[in-house]
Every structure is written in structure tokens, then in C-alpha cells.
Amino acid sequence: MKPGRIVGVLAAVALSVSALIPLGTAPTYAQTYAQNNIDLVLSVTSFWEDVLTPDLLAEFESQYPGVTVHVTFTETGFFGFGPSDNTIDTQLDSAEELVTSADVVYVDSSTLSTEGTQAGYFLDLAPLVMNDPSLDSSDFIPAVWQSFQWDNGMWALPISTDAIVLTYDPAAFDEAGLAYPNERWTIDDFANAARRLTQYNADGTVATAGFTTNSGGSNLDVFLRALAGTGLYDSATMPNAPDFSNPTLEYLLQTWYDLTQEGVVQGQGGGRDTEIPLRVEGINGYAERGFGRNEETTTRYATLLPGGVAGLNVQALAVSAGTQYPELAYELAEFLTTRSELASNMFSVSPARYSLMNSTSTTQNTNDNGQPGAPGGPGGFLGNQNAPEEIQPVIDQGLNVGLPMSELRYASYLSTALTEMNSNGGDALSALQTVEVQAVSDVQVAQARYGTVNLFVTPPETGPTLAPGEITLTCAVNTGMGGGGPMRGGNLFNQDQWDQVIADFVASDPLVGAVTLESVQTDDLATLAETYDCIILPSNVVPDADLSVILNLDPLLDTDPTFDRNDVIGNTLTQLQQDNKTWAMPIAIEPQMLQYTQELFAWAGVPEPVNGWTTDTFTDALRMLKSYDPDSVPFSANDPSGASLLMLIATYGGLPIDYRTDPATINFTDPATVDAIRQVLDLAIDGYISYDGLTETDQDTTVAITSNTFNQFRGGPGRPGEEATTEISTPYPQGSQYGVLAYEITTGYVSATAQNPESAYGFLSAVACNPQLFNGMPARQSLIYDPVVAAAQGEELVSVYQQIDALLRNPNTVVFPTLGGGMGGAGAISFLQQYWLTNAFDNYVLEGADLELELADAEEITLAYLECTNNIVIDTTTASDPQEQMRELGQQIMGCAASVDPTFELGF
């Protein structure tokens, strides 16, 4: 018997025994497993890292004495990013890696496929579900419950879901003289609307498409499947085989292909565009656009997809076919589906269970059968998101008539067919025949893998063996990138370099036997300092933090032979001080830089800024790039802080906010400043600067010049399908009067409760002395000019470091703040003082208002706001907790803003 069959037989025996033992009777399991030490491994998306706490898991472990749950957090989930090599073998290899990593795994449409189940990688949960008297399937939204059921099996237990519907701008439809879309529309109706809604340039080229499936392939597949009306599988075969014989498909693909050739629809890989009037999109994607500068400026409505359905993107938990404990793994998955902490994520529109809708204070509707409906009322259930009230009724309806993900099996091949049409001259029938052969072949490859691999969940690594008196130092690392990017499977992309630094440090410190790095999402020092000895954060949180939970580092800095205060770049160390004490170790700095695409510069004949730009040479570069490609916008900043615009204004000789003083000096109406503002904003009006792009650059578009940060953890693979270009970083242009720079600081902290403060500090010091760990710039001058560093990181990069160091040494350089440290306390006051200035910019650029009048009004309001914030007092007798004090401070800051400007509304 093959090894893989052994696992299957053992699982089958276990399941047959389970039929004799009612599930849900915890004492029986407790008696069974209390005599053993059982390790269950749970692998979930890193977006749950802050909510899937030890206390939550302890509730499960308390029901099963002897069972310990070990959690690993990965980048898998919510966004569906998969390997760029999308062959069937690559997909199956990824699935195999997933199910050998844990007993219970997070899955969604990007990780659990028909091919994966036919390869035997996932445990069929149907027998366990049928024998579980405590599981009430009627508690789940029906279509969500059915989403992972196919081939007579049930492959995952759902937790939450997003809904995919059709949204539209009624004003655009009215202007075009079109009836609003509805669920009865055909592909011809969509084609007509796309053509009539499309906006054109003067030369006849498309300026804005009329219709988009937004995120590309996945939403397009849902849309085409809804139009087709039937599944793309043969229900008469078992397992269900791919079937593309529906005669409707050829016409659907041909029409869509023709529309993409005309440019009137934006489909695969098109990215988001808030100006497109007709969109197929997930509700979480729609709500996401509420962030930033309120990109969504029009009221949109929604309707169901063709056929009266909504698409679903369901998040769920599956059990590995390689688990040694199928019943316990199932029990863990089922337990987690009951937790509102996991179901109430910002990437889903609703929990899978009706009972969790109640627990999250959402109302329930009833459907025609009197069963609970989708969450209702304005806002609905969006975790941290809010659905517009105009769209909420369609969400409610869509969840009740959702298209289960099981009905989308093989739909991804439709996108493949469209890609095939690009290479075969637009022959839809031939493309369908090609992908059907491919789909059948892929299924055969998957089935051939069944039983050929000895699936076995790798048990968690045991901790190091410590000598008497040794400790394990724990250090939290916040990568500053939302959890998914810089860490893979709990490891940094340059984990080998970190491991070497850790090994060297452990060898040098007789009290430390091991160092454990853990990725975290929060920058709340009070929370982190309770658990970890040391903390590494991507920004300076000293101004707004509760400093009682960390140590003053001055005594440790002063006795560190590797540290020299005069060696720290610029005034970085000063920024980490309060009350004449230093609270953080400067590890690296991340200057905000300009980044230009070398290929675009070469094509346009633009000289590269080898030694940096002056104001004149930067302006010349913009004009040459625009002349080469008149439809392009040469500069599009990627900067939510707004510092990029202020820095450009300073290079032209204006300082509306002078950050060289403390507090910053407000002077919007100085003639030199007004002139500088006008010069920069006129570049935006004339199309040289993407004004709408000041807070978000379209990540699917290559621009000639953008802004970026020497991020301390940037790295790893790009997005699938990205075309390789050479991006070169350079400082902002420097003016004749002012130099400009904005940067954030990677910082290290020692907990006030650290087991050994000297060792915790020593590790941070070792990290700071190893710049290869970071993509950021070393915070010490000695490292910048170290030939070893130059050899390791490259002469070009070190040359940029040295340019920045020279800027910081220049007394005429103005350093601008960033948003890296968050929006609490002093950070919020500083950020809001430019709010009215930005409004004045908007009114001039977008509305054609008088610039001098707008700036005068903005200055008056800003000064009144700052006077109000100067009088803020926090009553520590009523708000004794530091977090309560921070909330109270935030409320008073917002109160000051509203008191001086009744129209005040923060755009995120």
C-alpha cells in the first residue's frame, strides 16, 4: 500500500469511529486526549494576527485538556495573490505546501480549488458535519454554506463573505440617456452601456472606460458566469468534469473581447478607477475607496448581477488530509467559525453565521420563508467599513440569492480564454476549445497526484534547550506593511541574515540562549511591552506613546561602546527624546524619495538626475516627459501625508508651514510662498503633476516619476504579471533657498518589564549595527561611509545615503513630517494644521478659485484651530488610563477643528 493511502485509511478509520461517538461532547474528548499531549497547528491569514489571541485559543484548549494549538500567520488570504507561475503543478505544489504546514488552514477562492480536493489534499468534512449534533447548518447563509461543497464532499467551514454586485453612477447614466442597469441585462445591454458611457479625448482615444470588472480576473469570471446562467461543470460525472459546451459562452467571450479591443471596458488587471461609471465589484472593495481623500465623489447605487444573483468571496477554514487528528482539527475549525472576532473583518461584508450578525449589533431581516436574512439597516456588517445606505439593500438581497463559490468552479478558465484570444486573433470558439482541453488536463494531473504523497503535518518546532540561567529573549517586529508582504510563513524575506545576527548575538551574550522574533501588526507600546522584551517598530511613536511601559535608554546608550550620539544622522536622536530622556534606539531611517523609471527617461531623452535635481532641471524633466507622451502625467506622488506637495513648494521658495520652529510657523500668505504655491499647483493644472494621485498612485500603472520610501522592510516578490522596469531613487529637487527632506525612523524599544534589560538593549544595538537587515538607510554616519556597507549595498545606493546625510547637515534643509507615527495626540494636531491649506489647494486646482483668497481664509482658520488646541487640557482624574487620555485628546482635537470650521470633515 502506498504511503499516501495509509494516511487516507487512518483518517477513514478515525471517521468511522467518530460515527459511534457523538461530536460536541467535550468531556469524552477531554477524557480521551487528557492522557496525551496533542499539538494542533493552525495556519491563518496575518490579518487575524491581532484578534486570534492566546486567550481566544485558550477557550478551545480548555475544552480539550492535553491539546495545544500552535498558530502560524501567513500572507495568504483576502487579496488572492498567488504565484505568478500559475500552472497546475505550481498551484498543486502550493496546496501541498499549505496542507503539510498545518492541521487547520485558512482558505478562500485563491487557495482551495477543485483540483486541490481531487488531488486528495483536503479532508472531506461531510462525515464529521453529519455526525455533529451541535452544528446547525441553518445558522449559515445558505449560499455561503454551499460554497465549498462539490463532488459529494464538504471541503471547508465558512467564516465570512464578501458580496460582488454591480454598482453604477446614476448621474452618468442620466447624462448618457441610459436606463439604469438591472438583473435582466444581457451582454448586449452591457456593451451598449459601455460604449455610451465611455469618455473620449479630443483625438478620439479613450479617456475613461465606461465599464470595468474592477479587480480584474476574479470579478470578470463571476460576471461572465452570471451571464452564462449555468455552471461550467458536468454534473452527470463524478467528480464533476469541466464543461464549456454552453453555446452562450462563445458569444459572451467574443463580445467582451471586442469591447476590450475598443477600450470601452477595463477588464483583466485593470485596477481600480473611481471615475468609471459602471463596475462589477466586491463591497469591501467599494468601501475601501472611502479611505484617503474621499476618492468616491459621486453617489453610487447597486443592483444584482445578471440572473438576479450576487457573487460571493467566502473566507473559510479547511482541514488538511494529512492531519493525525481529524476530529480535533474539525472541532477547532468549527469553534473558530463561531468567533465574531474573526468574522468581523474589514474585508468581508457579512459573517457566515446569522448568529454572529446579532452578536455584532447588526439587525436581521427575514426572507420570504421567514428565515433570517442578511444583515440589514444602514451600514450593515462591514467590520471597520460602512456600506452606503443606497447600496445596503442590494447587499441584503445579494447574500440571500448569492452564487455559491462551488458554482464558480472552472470559471477562471474564462479569463484564460480571453488571454488566448489575444494571441489567436480573437477566435472565441477556438479559445474555449483550447481551455477546455487545458481544464481537463489539469484535472487529470490533480487526480494523478492522489495518494502519491505522504501527507504529514509538520509538528511545531520545539523551543531551544537553554542552559541553567539562560533566557529566551522575545522581540516583536512590526514590519509596517500590513502583515502580508515582508514576512512569509512567519519569516522575513531576509530571514537568513536575521538568523546570522541572532546567532552572533546569542554567542556573545552569556545570559541569552535564544532570541525569538515575532511579527506583530500593532504599534501600541503598552500592549507590546506586556509580552515582549524588545520591540522594533517602523516609525517613531515616542511623541504619542505611554512611556511608562518602556525604559529610558540613556544609561544603556552611555555605556554602549558601539554607540556615539554624535554619530546619529541629523536630529534623529532628538526626535526620540522627551523630558530630556531618550526612549528609543534609532535603527534606520526611511527618507521619502523620488523614484523615476529609467526606461521612460531613456525613451523620452530625459537626462537622469545623477547628482540630484534642482528646481529648474526637475521642471525641465516634467516638460520633456510630457512632450514625449502628451497623454501621460509625468509625476504622480504616492504620499498620504501630503509632504510631497509641501516639499515641492519649498523647493520653489515657499514655506506655508515652517517646520524648523517648534511649534511650526504658519504663514500661508507670504508673497514668496503664494508665488511658490502657484507655480507648483499650475504644474498640476497643466497636467505635469497628478493632483488626484497625491495620496494614492495606481499600482497597476508605470509612471515616469513617483514618490516612495526607503522602506525598512520592503522586498520580496512583486505582483504577478508585473512588467520589469528599472526604478531609480533620488532625493527631491533642491531649491536655491531651501533643501527639503521627509523621513521616518525605524525604532527599537526595551520593555520596562524585560527579563534582562541589558540583553534586550544589546540585541537592538546589534540590529542597528547591521544595516543589511533593512532596506532603509542606516541611522549612523559611520555606517554610511563604511566601505564594507558600500560593498554590500552597492555604490549607487550608498551615494544616495550620502546625499541625504549632506542634506541633513545643511542648515537650510527643512525636514517635513510624515504620517508614519500614526494619528494620535501631537501627530493629529500636526497633521490637521495642513488640512485647510490642502483644501485651499483643492479649491484652486479643481474649482478655479482665487488662490490668494483661499490661502488667506485657510490661514485664519488654521491659526484659530492651533489656538484652540493650545488650550486642550486632559483631566487625568476622569481619564486615568493612557489610552483613555489619548481618546480624550483625539476628541478634543476634532472638537477644535469643528469649532473653527463647521464644514470640517476628515476624509478617511
pLDDT digits (tens, 9 = 90+) for 523-570: 889 889 999 999 999 889 998 788 999 999 999 999 999 999 999 998
183-208 tens-digit pLDDT? 999 999 999 999 999 999 888 888 89
- Measured CA to CA in angstroms, residue 648 lies from 143, 535, 632, 738, 741 at distances of 53, 35, 20, 10, 10
User: Is the pLDDT confidence value at 708 over 60?
Assistant: yes
Cα(8)–Cα(305) distance, integer angstroms: 41
pLDDT, position 309:
96
Confidence of residue 878 (pLDDT cuts 50, 70, 90): low
Residue 365, SS3 per DSSP: strand
User: Which amino acid is present at 583?
Assistant: W
For the packed helices 326-336 and 3-18, what is the interaxial angle rounded to 10 degrees? 70
DSSP 23-62: TT-HHHHHHHHTTS-EEEEEEEEGGGTTTS-HHHHHHHHH
For the packed helices 643-651 and 671-685, what is the interaxial angle rounded to 10 degrees? 120
Q: What burial letters (b/e) apply to 11-26, b meaning 16+ CB within 10 Å?
A: beebbeebeeeebeee
What is the CA angle 414-420-425, rounded to 5? Answer: 125
Strand partners for 743:
591
Cα(528)–Cα(870) distance, integer angstroms: 31
- Can you tell me which residue has the cell 452544528? 135
DSSP 274-337: TT-SEEEEEHHHHHHTTSTTT---S--EEEPBTTTBEEEEEEEEEEBTT-S-HHHHHHHHHHHT
User: Is the pLDDT confidence value at 258 over 50?
Assistant: yes
641-674 tens-digit pLDDT? 678 899 999 999 999 999 888 788 999 999 999 9
Strand partners for 741:
815
- Which is more confident, 827 or 466? 466
Confidence of residue 819 (pLDDT cuts 50, 70, 90): low
Q: Are strands 153-154 and 512-520 parallel, antiparallel or unpaired?
A: unpaired
Q: Are strands 301-303 and 157-168 parallel, antiparallel or unpaired?
A: antiparallel
**Backbone dihedral region for residue 431 (phi beyond 0: left; psi -120 to 50: alpha; all else: beta):** alpha
Q: Which of 410, 411, 428 minimizes the C-alpha distance to 419? A: 428
User: Is the pLDDT confidence value at 384 over 50?
Assistant: no
The dihedral formed by the CA atoms of 125, 127, 131 and 137, expressed in degrees to the nearest 10: 50
Residue 78, SS3 per DSSP: coil
pLDDT, position 193:
97
Contacts of 433-439 spanning 24+ positions with Cβ under 8 A: 433/244, 435/244, 436/242, 436/243, 436/244, 438/413, 439/242, 439/244, 439/410, 439/413
Q: What is the mean predicted confidence (pLDDT) over 335-342? A: 94
Contacts of 140-143 spanning 24+ positions with Cβ under 8 A: 140/352, 140/353, 140/354, 141/350, 141/352, 141/354, 141/374, 141/399, 141/400, 141/402, 143/312, 143/399, 143/400, 143/401, 143/402, 143/403, 143/404
Cα(303)–Cα(866) distance, integer angstroms: 46
pLDDT, position 817:
79
Which helix (DSSP H) or strand (DSSP E) does residue 366 occupy? strand 363-366
The dihedral formed by the CA atoms of 302, 308, 310 and 311, expressed in degrees to the nearest 10: -130
Residue 191, SS3 per DSSP: helix
What is the residue-averaged pLDDT of the chain? 82
DSSP state of 21: S
91-110 tens-digit pLDDT? 999 999 999 999 999 998 88
Entry pTM: 0.66
Cα(515)–Cα(498) distance, integer angstroms: 10
Cα(264)–Cα(197) distance, integer angstroms: 8
Percent of the chain with pLDDT over 70: 81
Question: C-alpha 445: how far from its chain's center?
Answer: 33
- Measured CA to CA in angstroms, residue 229 lies from 190, 248, 307, 414 at distances of 16, 9, 7, 14
Strand partners for 364:
375
Cα(8)–Cα(154) distance, integer angstroms: 16
- Measured CA to CA in angstroms, residue 99 lies from 22, 96, 557 at distances of 27, 5, 47
How many CB atoms sit inside 10 A of residue 56's CB? 17
DSSP 2-20: -HHHHHHHHHHHHHHHHTT
Q: Which of 246, 353, 360, 752 minimizes the C-alpha distance to 534? A: 752
Cα(342)–Cα(94) distance, integer angstroms: 24
- Which is more confident, 636 or 214? 636
- Measured CA to CA in angstroms, residue 186 lies from 224, 307, 402 at distances of 11, 9, 19
Cα(844)–Cα(842) distance, integer angstroms: 5
Cα(339)–Cα(353) distance, integer angstroms: 10
Strand partners for 644:
none
Q: Are strands 211-212 and 585-597 parallel, antiparallel or unpaired?
A: unpaired
pLDDT, position 165:
94
- Residues ≥6 apart with Cβ < 8 Å to 869: 829, 892, 893, 896
Cα(262)–Cα(256) distance, integer angstroms: 10
The dihedral formed by the CA atoms of 569, 574, 577 and 583, expressed in degrees to the nearest 10: 10
> Could you report how far apart the first and last alpha carbons of the chain are, in Å?
60
Cα(641)–Cα(746) distance, integer angstroms: 17
pLDDT, position 51:
87
How many CB atoms sit inside 10 A of residue 340's CB? 18
Which helix (DSSP H) or strand (DSSP E) does residue 68 occupy? strand 67-74
Is residue 731 within 8 Å of 610, Cβ to Cβ? Answer: no
DSSP state of 122: B
**Cell, residue 508:** 556573545
Query: Which of 328-337, 380-389, 469-478, 611-620 has the weakest average pLDDT?
Result: 380-389
Helix, strand and coil in the chain, % to nearest 5: 40, 20, 40
The dihedral formed by the CA atoms of 41, 46, 47 and 52, expressed in degrees to the nearest 10: 30
Highest mean pLDDT among 51-60, 184-193, 729-738, 840-849: 184-193
User: Is the pLDDT confidence value at 729 over 60?
Assistant: yes
Q: What burial letters (b/e) apply to 486-503, b meaning 16+ CB within 10 Å?
A: bbbeeebbbeeebeebbe
- Can you tell me which residue has the cell 484651530? 865
275-332 tens-digit pLDDT? 799 999 887 645 444 433 334 457 889 999 999 999 999 999 999 999 999 999 999 9
Strand partners for 163:
312
Q: Are strands 739-750 and 813-816 parallel, antiparallel or unpaired?
A: parallel
How many CB atoms sit inside 10 A of residue 298's CB? 11
Cα(524)–Cα(87) distance, integer angstroms: 42
- Which is more confident, 552 or 348? 552
**Backbone dihedral region for residue 687 (phi beyond 0: left; psi -120 to 50: alpha; all else: beta):** left
